[in-house]
Amino acid sequence: MVSKLQLPELQKTSFQVFRYQLVVDKVLPINMYQDYQTADQVRADKNNIFQKILVEDAFKFIGNSSELSTKFLYTDGIMSYFRVGVKRNTTLFNKDFSTHFEENYPNILVAFNNDPTVQKIAIQCNSQAFKEPQIVGNIIQETLEAHLRAYNLSFYQEPIYDSQEFWHLIRKYPKQIRQVTFDLISPNMANISQNLQLNLKELYEDTNTHKTKIELNAEHESYLDIKEDSKFVGSLVDYSADGGGNIFMRVAGKRKLLHTAKSPTEFDIEKHLLENVDWDSLNEQFKTILI
Protein backbone atom coordinates (compact mmCIF):
# COMPACT_ATOMS: atom_id res chain seq x y z
CA MET A 1 0.00 0.00 0.00
CA VAL A 2 1.41 3.35 -1.03
CA SER A 3 1.02 6.04 1.60
CA LYS A 4 0.06 9.51 0.50
CA LEU A 5 2.49 12.30 1.15
CA GLN A 6 1.18 14.88 3.60
CA LEU A 7 2.15 18.33 2.40
CA PRO A 8 2.94 20.76 5.19
CA GLU A 9 0.12 23.22 5.84
CA LEU A 10 1.08 26.76 4.88
CA GLN A 11 1.10 29.17 7.79
CA LYS A 12 -1.20 32.13 7.45
CA THR A 13 -1.56 35.48 9.14
CA SER A 14 -4.83 37.34 9.63
CA PHE A 15 -5.76 40.94 8.81
CA GLN A 16 -8.74 42.94 10.04
CA VAL A 17 -10.46 45.42 7.74
CA PHE A 18 -11.34 49.04 8.58
CA ARG A 19 -13.05 51.77 6.60
CA TYR A 20 -11.83 55.36 6.66
CA GLN A 21 -13.62 58.53 5.64
CA LEU A 22 -12.23 61.99 4.92
CA VAL A 23 -14.63 64.77 5.88
CA VAL A 24 -14.01 68.44 5.03
CA ASP A 25 -14.54 71.12 7.66
CA LYS A 26 -16.44 73.70 5.62
CA VAL A 27 -16.30 76.68 7.97
CA LEU A 28 -12.60 77.10 8.77
CA PRO A 29 -10.60 79.44 6.50
CA ILE A 30 -8.36 77.70 3.94
CA ASN A 31 -7.13 80.68 1.93
CA MET A 32 -3.61 80.19 3.28
CA TYR A 33 -3.17 77.31 0.82
CA GLN A 34 -2.82 78.51 -2.75
CA ASP A 35 -4.05 75.25 -4.24
CA TYR A 36 -7.36 75.31 -2.35
CA GLN A 37 -9.68 78.25 -1.88
CA THR A 38 -12.93 76.39 -1.16
CA ALA A 39 -14.11 73.35 0.75
CA ASP A 40 -15.35 71.85 -2.53
CA GLN A 41 -11.82 72.00 -3.96
CA VAL A 42 -10.44 70.20 -0.91
CA ARG A 43 -13.20 67.58 -1.14
CA ALA A 44 -12.47 66.96 -4.82
CA ASP A 45 -8.77 66.39 -4.11
CA LYS A 46 -9.02 64.72 -0.69
CA ASN A 47 -7.61 61.35 -1.76
CA ASN A 48 -4.66 62.96 -3.53
CA ILE A 49 -3.95 64.96 -0.37
CA PHE A 50 -4.17 61.77 1.67
CA GLN A 51 -1.83 59.88 -0.66
CA LYS A 52 0.70 62.72 -0.65
CA ILE A 53 0.83 62.61 3.16
CA LEU A 54 1.31 58.83 3.24
CA VAL A 55 4.34 58.86 0.92
CA GLU A 56 6.14 61.85 2.46
CA ASP A 57 9.69 60.90 3.51
CA ALA A 58 9.13 62.16 7.05
CA PHE A 59 5.77 60.41 7.57
CA LYS A 60 5.62 58.04 10.53
CA PHE A 61 3.00 56.74 12.91
CA ILE A 62 3.03 58.23 16.41
CA GLY A 63 1.81 56.50 19.57
CA ASN A 64 1.07 58.37 22.80
CA SER A 65 2.04 55.53 25.13
CA SER A 66 4.51 53.42 23.11
CA GLU A 67 7.63 53.98 21.07
CA LEU A 68 6.86 53.07 17.47
CA SER A 69 8.94 52.48 14.37
CA THR A 70 7.56 53.00 10.86
CA LYS A 71 8.87 51.72 7.55
CA PHE A 72 7.28 52.68 4.24
CA LEU A 73 7.39 49.62 1.96
CA TYR A 74 5.63 50.17 -1.36
CA THR A 75 2.95 52.10 -3.23
CA ASP A 76 1.39 51.89 -6.68
CA GLY A 77 -0.31 55.26 -6.20
CA ILE A 78 -3.49 53.73 -4.76
CA MET A 79 -2.31 50.88 -2.52
CA SER A 80 0.31 51.79 0.12
CA TYR A 81 2.05 49.49 2.61
CA PHE A 82 3.87 50.07 5.89
CA ARG A 83 5.56 48.07 8.61
CA VAL A 84 4.76 49.34 12.09
CA GLY A 85 6.80 48.08 15.04
CA VAL A 86 6.40 48.77 18.73
CA LYS A 87 9.14 48.74 21.37
CA ARG A 88 8.85 45.88 23.85
CA ASN A 89 11.37 44.91 26.55
CA THR A 90 11.86 41.15 26.42
CA THR A 91 13.10 39.20 29.43
CA LEU A 92 15.79 36.63 28.57
CA PHE A 93 17.22 33.99 30.89
CA ASN A 94 20.97 33.37 31.21
CA LYS A 95 22.69 30.04 31.81
CA ASP A 96 23.15 30.87 35.49
CA PHE A 97 19.39 31.58 35.78
CA SER A 98 19.84 35.32 36.02
CA THR A 99 17.88 37.50 33.63
CA HIS A 100 18.57 40.38 31.33
CA PHE A 101 16.40 42.58 29.16
CA GLU A 102 16.64 43.28 25.47
CA GLU A 103 14.70 45.63 23.24
CA ASN A 104 12.37 43.94 20.80
CA TYR A 105 10.25 45.46 18.05
CA PRO A 106 7.48 43.02 17.06
CA ASN A 107 5.74 44.47 14.03
CA ILE A 108 2.78 44.28 11.71
CA LEU A 109 1.92 45.12 8.10
CA VAL A 110 -0.61 47.88 7.41
CA ALA A 111 -2.13 48.30 3.92
CA PHE A 112 -4.18 51.26 2.65
CA ASN A 113 -6.48 51.18 -0.37
CA ASN A 114 -6.93 54.88 -1.18
CA ASP A 115 -9.32 54.37 -4.09
CA PRO A 116 -12.04 56.98 -3.30
CA THR A 117 -14.73 54.32 -3.78
CA VAL A 118 -13.00 51.94 -1.34
CA GLN A 119 -10.98 53.73 1.40
CA LYS A 120 -10.09 50.65 3.42
CA ILE A 121 -7.23 49.71 5.73
CA ALA A 122 -5.99 46.17 6.41
CA ILE A 123 -4.20 45.76 9.76
CA GLN A 124 -2.26 42.58 10.49
CA CYS A 125 -3.09 40.72 13.70
CA ASN A 126 -0.05 40.12 15.92
CA SER A 127 -0.72 40.10 19.67
CA GLN A 128 3.02 40.21 20.41
CA ALA A 129 3.03 43.70 18.92
CA PHE A 130 -0.48 45.02 19.64
CA LYS A 131 -3.18 43.37 21.71
CA GLU A 132 -5.73 44.02 18.98
CA PRO A 133 -5.79 45.75 15.58
CA GLN A 134 -8.15 48.46 16.86
CA ILE A 135 -5.22 49.83 18.89
CA VAL A 136 -3.36 50.32 15.61
CA GLY A 137 -6.50 51.83 14.13
CA ASN A 138 -6.50 54.41 16.93
CA ILE A 139 -2.81 55.18 16.25
CA ILE A 140 -3.58 55.64 12.54
CA GLN A 141 -6.53 57.87 13.45
CA GLU A 142 -4.46 60.18 15.69
CA THR A 143 -1.50 60.34 13.31
CA LEU A 144 -3.43 61.11 10.14
CA GLU A 145 -5.84 63.47 11.88
CA ALA A 146 -2.83 65.59 12.88
CA HIS A 147 -1.50 65.67 9.29
CA LEU A 148 -4.85 66.29 7.59
CA ARG A 149 -5.94 69.09 9.91
CA ALA A 150 -3.81 71.53 7.90
CA TYR A 151 -6.12 70.87 4.92
CA ASN A 152 -9.33 71.19 6.97
CA LEU A 153 -9.84 67.44 6.60
CA SER A 154 -10.91 65.12 9.39
CA PHE A 155 -10.00 61.43 9.35
CA TYR A 156 -12.30 58.76 10.81
CA GLN A 157 -11.77 54.99 10.84
CA GLU A 158 -14.14 52.25 11.96
CA PRO A 159 -14.03 48.46 11.70
CA ILE A 160 -16.12 46.72 9.03
CA TYR A 161 -18.24 43.89 10.42
CA ASP A 162 -21.31 41.77 9.74
CA SER A 163 -24.53 43.66 10.47
CA GLN A 164 -25.96 40.40 11.86
CA GLU A 165 -23.92 41.07 15.01
CA PHE A 166 -26.43 43.79 15.85
CA TRP A 167 -29.46 41.66 15.10
CA HIS A 168 -27.98 38.77 17.08
CA LEU A 169 -27.97 41.01 20.17
CA ILE A 170 -31.54 42.11 19.44
CA ARG A 171 -32.63 38.45 19.37
CA LYS A 172 -30.47 37.52 22.38
CA TYR A 173 -31.98 40.14 24.70
CA PRO A 174 -35.72 40.34 23.94
CA LYS A 175 -37.60 42.88 26.10
CA GLN A 176 -34.28 43.92 27.74
CA ILE A 177 -32.88 46.60 25.45
CA ARG A 178 -33.17 50.02 27.07
CA GLN A 179 -31.05 52.16 24.74
CA VAL A 180 -29.40 51.99 21.32
CA THR A 181 -26.97 54.69 20.18
CA PHE A 182 -25.82 55.15 16.59
CA ASP A 183 -22.68 57.31 16.35
CA LEU A 184 -22.56 58.04 12.62
CA ILE A 185 -19.84 59.66 10.49
CA SER A 186 -20.94 62.12 7.82
CA PRO A 187 -20.43 60.16 4.59
CA ASN A 188 -18.10 61.05 1.73
CA MET A 189 -18.69 57.78 -0.12
CA ALA A 190 -21.98 57.40 -1.99
CA ASN A 191 -21.56 53.63 -2.36
CA ILE A 192 -21.87 52.98 1.40
CA SER A 193 -24.57 55.58 2.11
CA GLN A 194 -26.88 55.12 -0.90
CA ASN A 195 -29.38 53.00 1.07
CA LEU A 196 -29.22 55.08 4.24
CA GLN A 197 -32.73 56.23 5.23
CA LEU A 198 -31.29 59.33 6.92
CA ASN A 199 -29.81 62.04 4.72
CA LEU A 200 -26.54 62.52 6.60
CA LYS A 201 -24.98 64.24 3.58
CA GLU A 202 -27.66 66.92 3.53
CA LEU A 203 -27.35 67.33 7.29
CA TYR A 204 -23.61 67.82 6.88
CA GLU A 205 -24.11 70.35 4.07
CA ASP A 206 -26.64 72.28 6.18
CA THR A 207 -24.71 72.26 9.47
CA ASN A 208 -21.06 71.08 8.95
CA THR A 209 -21.65 68.19 11.36
CA HIS A 210 -18.97 65.50 11.09
CA LYS A 211 -20.53 63.02 13.50
CA THR A 212 -24.23 62.64 14.24
CA LYS A 213 -25.58 60.72 17.22
CA ILE A 214 -28.99 59.07 17.11
CA GLU A 215 -30.08 57.75 20.49
CA LEU A 216 -33.12 55.54 20.96
CA ASN A 217 -34.39 55.37 24.55
CA ALA A 218 -37.14 53.31 26.13
CA GLU A 219 -39.32 54.65 28.91
CA HIS A 220 -38.38 53.73 32.48
CA GLU A 221 -39.05 50.02 33.13
CA SER A 222 -39.99 49.54 29.47
CA TYR A 223 -37.88 48.38 26.51
CA LEU A 224 -37.19 49.16 22.86
CA ASP A 225 -39.16 47.19 20.29
CA ILE A 226 -36.73 46.95 17.37
CA LYS A 227 -37.91 44.86 14.44
CA GLU A 228 -35.61 43.30 11.85
CA ASP A 229 -37.87 44.45 9.01
CA SER A 230 -37.46 48.12 9.96
CA LYS A 231 -36.01 49.83 6.89
CA PHE A 232 -34.89 52.89 8.85
CA VAL A 233 -33.10 51.04 11.65
CA GLY A 234 -31.77 48.46 9.19
CA SER A 235 -30.21 51.19 7.07
CA LEU A 236 -28.47 52.70 10.13
CA VAL A 237 -27.16 49.26 11.09
CA ASP A 238 -25.91 48.49 7.56
CA TYR A 239 -24.19 51.87 7.23
CA SER A 240 -22.49 51.46 10.61
CA ALA A 241 -21.39 47.89 9.84
CA ASP A 242 -19.87 49.05 6.55
CA GLY A 243 -17.53 51.33 8.48
CA GLY A 244 -19.81 54.34 8.75
CA GLY A 245 -20.06 54.51 12.52
CA ASN A 246 -20.43 52.84 15.90
CA ILE A 247 -23.42 51.21 17.60
CA PHE A 248 -23.74 50.88 21.37
CA MET A 249 -26.50 49.09 23.22
CA ARG A 250 -27.65 49.32 26.85
CA VAL A 251 -29.26 46.11 28.09
CA ALA A 252 -31.13 45.61 31.37
CA GLY A 253 -28.97 43.64 33.80
CA LYS A 254 -25.71 44.53 32.02
CA ARG A 255 -23.50 47.15 33.66
CA LYS A 256 -21.45 47.86 30.53
CA LEU A 257 -22.64 49.07 27.16
CA LEU A 258 -22.54 46.38 24.47
CA HIS A 259 -20.59 47.22 21.33
CA THR A 260 -21.80 45.50 18.16
CA ALA A 261 -18.47 45.48 16.27
CA LYS A 262 -16.97 42.59 18.23
CA SER A 263 -15.79 40.60 15.21
CA PRO A 264 -14.40 42.84 12.45
CA THR A 265 -14.12 41.39 8.95
CA GLU A 266 -10.92 39.35 8.54
CA PHE A 267 -8.95 37.72 5.73
CA ASP A 268 -5.81 35.58 5.67
CA ILE A 269 -2.55 35.90 3.76
CA GLU A 270 0.07 33.17 3.60
CA LYS A 271 2.99 34.21 5.80
CA HIS A 272 5.65 33.31 3.26
CA LEU A 273 4.20 35.92 0.88
CA LEU A 274 5.11 38.63 3.41
CA GLU A 275 8.73 37.47 3.44
CA ASN A 276 11.00 38.05 0.43
CA VAL A 277 8.11 40.02 -1.01
CA ASP A 278 7.23 40.10 -4.71
CA TRP A 279 5.29 43.35 -4.57
CA ASP A 280 3.60 42.95 -7.94
CA SER A 281 1.94 39.68 -6.94
CA LEU A 282 1.29 40.61 -3.30
CA ASN A 283 -0.19 43.95 -4.30
CA GLU A 284 -2.54 42.24 -6.76
CA GLN A 285 -3.67 39.86 -4.02
CA PHE A 286 -4.39 42.71 -1.61
CA LYS A 287 -6.25 44.69 -4.29
CA THR A 288 -8.42 41.65 -5.01
CA ILE A 289 -9.31 41.27 -1.32
CA LEU A 290 -9.40 44.87 -0.13
CA ILE A 291 -12.20 46.15 -2.39
- 121 lies in some domain: yes
pLDDT digits (tens, 9 = 90+) for 35-46: 888 889 999 999
**Mean pLDDT for the chain overall:** 91
Residue 3 has pLDDT above 80, yes or no: no
- 171 lies in some domain: yes
Higher pLDDT: 115 or 7? It is 115
Residues 65 and 197 in one domain: no
Residues 25 and 152 in one domain: yes
Residue 121 has pLDDT above 80, yes or no: yes
Residues 72 and 98 in one domain: yes
**Average pLDDT of 99-115?**
91
The percentage of the chain sitting over the pLDDT mark of 90, rounded to a whole number, equals: 74
Give helix 46-54 / helix 133-148 axis angle, nearest 10°: 110
Residue 272 has pLDDT above 90, yes or no: no
Residues 189 and 233 in one domain: yes
Residues 132 and 246 in one domain: no
Residues 111 and 222 in one domain: no
**Average pLDDT of 175-193?**
94
Q: How many domains does the chain have?
A: 2
Higher pLDDT: 246 or 8? It is 246
Residues 117 and 156 in one domain: yes
CA distance 117 to 78: 11
- 99 lies in some domain: yes
pLDDT at 261: 81
pLDDT band of 115, cuts 50, 70, 90: very high
**Average pLDDT of 107-116?**
97
- 211 lies in some domain: yes
**Average pLDDT of 247-262?**
92
Put simply, whether the predicted model's pTM sits higher than 0.85 gets the answer yes
> Which residues are bridge partners to 124 per DSSP?
15
- 241 lies in some domain: yes
pLDDT band of 34, cuts 50, 70, 90: low
- 48 lies in some domain: yes
The domain in which residue 172 lies consists of 164-259
- 239 lies in some domain: yes
Higher pLDDT: 126 or 3? It is 126
**Average pLDDT of 77-95?**
90
CA distance 128 to 153: 33
Residues 44 and 138 in one domain: yes
Residues 174 and 52 in one domain: no
Residues 246 and 138 in one domain: no
SS (H, E, C) 172-188: HCCCCEEEEEEEEECCC
Residues 116 and 186 in one domain: no
pLDDT digits (tens, 9 = 90+) for 124-178: 999 999 999 999 999 999 999 999 998 999 999 999 999 999 999 999 999 999 9
Residue 265 has pLDDT above 80, yes or no: yes
pLDDT at 100: 80
Q: What is the dihedral of CA 230, 231, 234, 238, to 10 degrees?
A: 170
- 3 lies in some domain: no
Residues 90 and 195 in one domain: no
pLDDT at 4: 57
